[in-house]
Amino acid sequence: MKLENQKKIKEMLMDIRKYRDKNILFSSEQATCYPNILKELFLKYKHFAFKGKRGCIVGQGELKASGGDLLCALNRRCAMIRDNIKRLINDSF
């Protein structure tokens, strides 16, 4: 994972820590940086890491072959929202 991504993840988790620092449940993909960051920022937490699924070989690579990958679905939905907002902004001028 890129250093800048790790920095942004840490900033986001520090914001979460302001409101709650005990008994938090985190779930993520199996990136190696998450356990270190969580250990540094939180006293009591549980972290479940899930193995990601491979993308389709043919067609749109961001789609997962077997489906059911929640992070992929969220990332795809957010990308579509950003794209549609960008189109609205471009069309209004």
Q: SS3 sequence, the chain?
A: CCHHHHHHHHHHHHHHHHHCCCCEEEEEECCCHHHHHHHHHCCCEEEEEECCCCECCCCCCCCECCCCCHHHHHHHHHHHHHHHHHHHHHHHC
Q: What percent of the chain clears pLDDT 90, i.e. is strictly above it?
A: 2
Same domain for 36 and 63, yes or no, is no
Same domain for 63 and 43, yes or no, is no
Q: How far apart are CA 93 and CA 1, in angstroms?
A: 37
Write the pLDDT tens digit of every residue in 11-27: 888 888 887 767 788 88
Using the 3D structure, point to which of 51, 67, 82 is the last residue of a domain.
51
Q: What is the pTM of this model?
A: 0.52
pLDDT value at residue 91 = 66
Same domain for 47 and 59, yes or no, is no
The mean pLDDT of 65-77, rounded to a whole number, is 72
